[in-house]
Amino acid sequence: MDHEPGEDAALLGRLAEAADRWTPLVALDPPHGLVLDVTGCAHLFGGEAALRDDVLKRFRAGGFSVRASLAGTPDAARALARFGRVAIVPPGGEATAVRPLPVAALRLAESERAALSLAGLKRIGDLADMASAPLAARFGEELPARLRRALGRDDVRITPLRPPPAVRVEKRFAEPIAHQQAIEGALGELVSRAVARLEETGRGGRRFEAGFFRTDGAVRRIAVETGRPSRDARAVLRLFHERLDALADPLDPGFGFDVVRLAVPTVEPLGQAQPGLDGKAIEEDEVSDLVDRLAARFGPERVLRFASADTHDPARASRLAPAPAAPAAPGRDMGHRQEAGEPPLRPLQLFEPPQPIETLAEAPDGPPLRFRWRRALHRVVHAEGPERIAGEWWRAPGQPTRDYYRVEDDEGRRFWLYRAGLYDRETARPNWYLHGLFA
């Protein structure tokens, strides 16, 4: 059959998902390897030997030919798995274990391997007996660095496919479970345990991800998100029920799940709720719960809300974002923040595009005294401003500067006007526009 590297890479990714049952720190080692950091995980499987046996048994049951070695560094474990015969290296024994291996175990370029072979350096042990300076002078700094890592003298941590979650709890079963009631019971227990850990640290979860590991190696993950940090076990479990009920592809246990895991990858500080006397805090919680349930049932991309954008441009100051997503907090004050109880500095509704008006001003760069909009003449009695906003030159080069005014006419109606272009600097005759109306 024709070789399809893309299919191989996709298969390796699925195997990495399955390897998550042993440790959350799994990295790809293309073209056909995986590196697992099992630090602190071996005791869950009865020790390193039992863990390695379980890895081999499960991969071979799936029809794969597999080799596995455990060592103190990723480079030593990789070299032994591909070229050696040592299954488990005792602590500090990497240098002895890799000495008999060929220099190809260092993953060198073909030209470098050929040059080392001509020099009579065919084994890692031959290189280990040499000083680093001559090797670096002849082959560059990369060769001594790889040699030190393979010998266990230097250690470079792997970069896992999935960052370790802040909270992770799991439940293993001696006999696989397949009934819906048992699955929901296990999930409920894990949610309670995760919430207890969050409460101990004063944090709340924003994203909860359940992983269901089948006995045949298949993994199914289901995630729910909340609009605000939460450690309400009943609310989180209700979101999972909504998500499970809305799945187009039902959760198929096959021959059963032997591991169910719950991870909380996104957490935020969460103090004790203190509702006000007006009860608005309770109302906000109810609305947030409703949004979370709708997002769990219909998908977060179908439940949207308005969020602030990091821009001075009024037309782009807000955007639609998935409701459960974290609110977009601008990196600086956009210049239109106001105190509670003060009248709005900007109207809620804008005209797009802004509507041209005719104005009469006392000075060319001052506020208008009168303006005509839709054939109606308005006499200005109060004016506030200007609020000067420069154009975003990286989006629309040449856009003129705008001077915005909040004005009120003699009938109490309030308008948001702006003059396009600085008088006598950008234009000789600035144009005026009505951009919005205040309620």
The reported pTM is 0.64
- What are the structural domains, with CATH classification, of the chain? 5-150 (no CATH), 167-296 (3.30.1490.100), 349-437 (no CATH)
User: Residue 288 — pLDDT band, cuts 50, 70, 90?
Assistant: confident
pLDDT of 333 above 60: no
Mean pLDDT of 213-232: 89
CA separation for the pair 133, 141 (Å, rounded): 9
In whole angstroms, give the CA distance from residue 383 to residue 406. 6
Share of the chain above pLDDT 70, in %: 92
Distance of CA 238 to the CA centre of its chain: 24
Q: What is the DSSP letter of 342?
A: S
> How confident is residue 65, by pLDDT bands cut at 50, 70 and 90?
very high
Q: Report helix angle 180-201 to 233-245, nearest 10.
A: 140
Confidence of residue 283 (pLDDT cuts 50, 70, 90): low
Q: How far is CA 199 from the centre of its chain?
A: 23
438 close to 416: Cβ distance less than 8 angstroms: yes
Residue 377 confidence (pLDDT): 95
Residue 342: how many other CB atoms lie within 10 Å:
8
Between the alpha carbon of residue 168 and those of residues 17, 90, 261, 267, 284, the distances in Å are 16, 29, 7, 12, 29
Residue 307 CB: number of other CB atoms within 10 A? 16
Token readout for 427 is: 């234009």
Quick one: tokens of 378? Answer: 């308005």
DSSP letter string, 30-82 = TTTEEEE--TTTGGGGTSHHHHHHHHHHHHHHTT------B-SSHHHHHHHHH
Region 18-27 average pLDDT: 92
pLDDT at residue number 129: 86
β-pair partners for 35: 27
pLDDT-derived band at 363 (thresholds 50, 70, 90) equals confident
Among residues 168, 165, 221, the alpha carbon closest in space to that of 191 is found at 168
- What average pLDDT does the segment 283-294 reach? 76
Dump pLDDT digits (tens) for 390-439: 888 888 788 899 999 999 999 999 999 999 988 888 888 899 999 999 97
Dihedral sign for Cα 323, 327, 328, 333, please. positive
Q: Residue 276 has what pLDDT?
A: 57
pLDDT category, 156, cuts 50, 70, 90? confident
Q: What share of the chain is helix, strand, coil (3-state, %, to 5)?
A: 35, 30, 40
For residue 374, what are the contacts with CB-CB under 8 A and spacing of at least 6? Answer: none
Alpha helical stretches, state H, 202-335 = 233-245, 280-298
| 252-261 pLDDT, tens digit each | 888 899 999 9
